[in-house]
A and B are shown apart, each in its own frame.
Chain A
Amino acid sequence: MKLMHRLTAAIGARRAWMCFPLLTLAATAAMGGDAFAPSPQREQKLVRMVRQDCGSCHGLQLTGGLGPALTPAALRAWSADNLAATILHGRPGTPMPPWSTLVSADEAEWIARRLLEGFPQEGTVVR
Chain B
Amino acid sequence: MCLGIPGKVVETFRDHGILMGKVDFGGVSKRVCLEHVPDITAGEYVLVHVGFALAKVDEAEARRVFDFLEGMEQLGELDEVP
Q: Report if A and B associate in a common complex.
A: no
